[in-house]
Amino acid sequence: MTPRTHHLLLCLLALPSLIRAEESAWLDDYDVNEIVTGFGSARKNRSMENKPLTISGKGFERGVGTHAPSQAYFLNEGAAALKFEATVGVDDSTDGAGSVAFQVLVDDKVIHDTGVIRKGEAAKQISVDLTGKKIIELRVTDGGDGKNYDHADWAEARFIYNGKTPVMSPRWAMELPHYTGGTELKPRDAGKTTTLQSPDGKIGALLFVDHSGRLSLSASMGDKELLSPSPLGVTVDGLDLGENAELRDSESYATDATYPWIGNTASLRDHGKGLKVQIRSKGLDQPWTLELRAYDDGIAWRYLIPGKGKRKVGGEATSFILPEGSNYWSHHNTANYEANYLHFSTDDHSPARQITMPVTVELKDGGYASITEANMFGYSGMTLGPRGRVLNGIFEDDSKGWTMDGEISTPWRIVIAAQDLTALVNQSIVYNVSPPPDPKLFPNGVKEDWIKPGRSFWTWGFGQWDTAQWDRIMGYVDDAAKLNCQYYVIDDPWREPKMGWHRNGKDEWASLKEVCAYAAKKKVKIMVWEHWERLKEPSKREEFFEKVAKAGAVGVKIDFMDSESQERLAFFKSCLELGAKHHILINFHGANKPAGEERTWPHWMTREAIFGMEQGGNIARSHLAALPFTRLVTGPGDFTPTVFRPGPMGKTTAGSQMATAVAYNSPINHWADSAEAYLAQPEEVVSFIRTKPVTWDETRVLPASKIGELAVIARRFGTQWWIGGINGSDEVKTYELDPGLLAQGECDTIRFADVAGDKTKLEITKGSMKPEEKLALTMQPGGGFVVILRKK
């Protein structure tokens, strides 16, 4: 054999190892929980209705069912040969006429668009070459007519590749500005740090510059670590002010004022200590200010950057590094905050899908923290990108930055501190750092005579669109009066011609005036629904509020904003200003996190931003027992409680349905079932619906409560205690209630408890109890109880 022949033979033998066979990465083999959806959670090999994937009568064994708007992101690390294939369409199982469009994007540019596909239309094929492309997005948009029923199937979807498998990665980690450093931040110079303590001396904050020049902050609660050393900074015109920082002089101050409140208690106290610390940052020609406050229930800080003219804020390095061994509660729906709360560990350090605030943290050695923000208007809303213990501050809705004019004042970044759950649910720091109401708009603050908490009748929960028909409205007013509701909400789509309000030559506003006049005779006030897109133009917005007021309605429910971009937050503020001008209450649905606005705008008494009873059987039991300690910590939620029909009750019982109305705070309480369903209940239940308070003098969390497992909330109204217990587990639980913890002396009692084997039934018992007596209550899986104590 010649040397040349020998060399050729060696090359041929090596060839199979050099040529890689094509491989497939099926979309359903990835973690579908990482796929962003407009409603619910993506499903592996199933539709959103949890049925086999079916498009226009054709079934598919594998794929992913999702709901528009939806996004999934992938990193093609090797930028190797790559192709994506799928069969797509609207799933047959959706109840309505869904319409969607499927898109494939590379570096934020659409390279394939199916166009609009409607329910019943044949599936379309996608086949795109992605060779050499690095960041890939699979997107589903609505069909231009809203997202209702937009159940989209990626059937037989797969990547065909040579080399490395495409990695599913959250968008924020690939595209959004964020802190990329580690968790070991230590003072560069121990002698150059700034400290602040709360009035009671138990909460402490340490501000310092670390070895790399990064401005950093840590916090403690007694001898426990509340916040591990965490990076700070805001980027203005491309300059990260937290880098190459130097601490300068500081100015201290204190706050101490009490103000009336509507919610868990009758008043709140703003009692804190503050520092305004001058910071020098390399590249900036003048110092800026970090304002820091410490309260007995947490710490808060914000960035104040002087200047004139327009400047661009690109994002923040602000991140929250959790103490080792911590776990936390949050969820992934950062569009409208409607999802079951989930429990997360900090063990996995790889970037994970973004999460919402507030984030409730369970500290390793006991106690709790809650991470959130306040006073957002003028800025952009922050969400969090998790990677282990690091929760990166990110701005999804203004990913390219936003412009501000003049001095830049950021929202307050807040870490609530609580030794126990009672302290957690009674936090006041979020409200204390928020501006008080403008006396020009609200001369009497929350005591304005047109700002009245109350119970409200809401028909969408049991009849949806049909309940907006004109010929039913007066009857629903009568129902509201029968249930002793102060309000009745007329929901979507009352203004549409098909609803019959445009009768006898009248428009909907003339008809609304008739309704308001009729309702006034019944001592019921009217609120009406509107889609935010119909109010985008300022002139249309002004006209709407004027017409609502002239018709005699007292409130509006504005829906589907689904964003906290700077622009969308400006819309919120404009509506609030118009509401104050025309004395109109506002309930925002499709809304963002509560961030202290209830103090500044007291006519905003509730909001959605919660996975509530309109979701029925999609609600997890653990979610019900988590809400008082998570979402509801920082503001009221329009959960729309208490249904007695078995279908919408889902995994709950009549006992827990009643308990949610007590355990959850909402100064406007919207009942979610029909008058027929309520009036068919025993007289004691009807009395509960007619008389349950919506504001409280005192709130306590009773012993044995645990986030996601058991929530027992006691609320005082005058001399009465209303107690709601919720079992978030799949097991029967027995709870021993000790009335002596609450009431002084002998009490009359009424209790509503589960009945084993029938989730729609209640065991109702009346009696009296002495302080030393105990009451044993059995809760079925997902069940609950209500006990009312009235002092003799």
- Check whether residue 162 and residue 217 sit in a common domain: no
Residue 740 confidence class, pLDDT cut points 50, 70, 90? confident
**Domain finish residue from 133, 153, 169:** 169
- Check whether residue 276 and residue 417 sit in a common domain: yes
Q: What is the pTM of this model?
A: 0.92
Q: What CATH number has the domain bearing residue 531?
A: 3.20.20.70
- Check whether residue 151 and residue 106 sit in a common domain: yes
- Check whether residue 234 and residue 105 sit in a common domain: no
- Check whether residue 665 and residue 782 sit in a common domain: yes
Whole-number pLDDT of residue 2:
55
Query: What are the tens digits of pLDDT across the range 35-45?
Result: 988 888 899 99
| Average pLDDT estimate for 627-642 | 98
**Domain finish residue from 609, 633, 662:** 609
In a domain, 620, yes or no: no
- Check whether residue 700 and residue 750 sit in a common domain: yes
Q: What CATH number has the domain bearing residue 108?
A: 2.60.120.1060
- Check whether residue 45 and residue 69 sit in a common domain: yes
- Check whether residue 113 and residue 253 sit in a common domain: no
Q: What CATH number has the domain bearing residue 771?
A: 2.60.40.1180
Whole-number pLDDT of residue 476:
98
| Average pLDDT estimate for 427-456 | 98
Whole-number pLDDT of residue 528:
98
Tokens of 509: 């506003």
Q: Are 121 and 56 in contact (CB under 8 A)?
A: yes
Element (DSSP H or E) covering residue 546: helix 538-551
| Average pLDDT estimate for 569-592 | 98
Helix axes 566-582, 538-551, angle to 10 degrees: 30
In a domain, 339, yes or no: no
In a domain, 239, yes or no: yes
| Count of C-beta atoms within a 10 Å radius of residue 144 | 9
Phi, psi of 187 (to 5 degrees): -60, 135
Whole-number pLDDT of residue 164:
85
Q: Which of 333-337, 355-359, 437-441 has the lowest mean pLDDT?
A: 333-337
Whole-number pLDDT of residue 13:
44
Res 536 pLDDT > 50: yes
| Full domain range(s) for residue 162 | 22-169
- Check whether residue 470 and residue 514 sit in a common domain: yes
Query: What are the tens digits of pLDDT across the range 646-688?
Result: 999 999 999 999 999 999 999 999 999 999 999 999 999 999 9
Whole-number pLDDT of residue 1:
52
In a domain, 188, yes or no: no
In a domain, 739, yes or no: yes
- Check whether residue 750 and residue 724 sit in a common domain: yes
Res 486 pLDDT > 50: yes
In a domain, 677, yes or no: no
Q: Are 648 and 671 in contact (CB under 8 A)?
A: no
Q: For residues 221 and 198, what is the distance between their CA atoms, to the nearest angstrom? A: 10
Residue 96 confidence class, pLDDT cut points 50, 70, 90? confident
Q: For residues 82 and 162, what is the distance between their CA atoms, to the nearest angstrom? A: 7
Number of structural domains the chain divides into? 4
- Check whether residue 410 and residue 444 sit in a common domain: no
Query: What are the tens digits of pLDDT across the range 713-737?
Result: 999 999 999 999 999 999 999 999 9
In a domain, 603, yes or no: yes
Q: What CATH number has the domain bearing residue 417?
A: 2.70.98.10
Query: What are the tens digits of pLDDT across the range 140-151?
Result: 999 888 778 899
| Average pLDDT estimate for 325-334 | 96
Q: For residues 561 and 568, what is the distance between their CA atoms, to the nearest angstrom? A: 7
Res 132 pLDDT > 50: yes
- Check whether residue 661 and residue 721 sit in a common domain: yes
Nearest CA to 667 among 609, 585, 605, 713?
A: 605
| Share of residues in the chain with pLDDT > 70 (%) | 97
In a domain, 637, yes or no: no
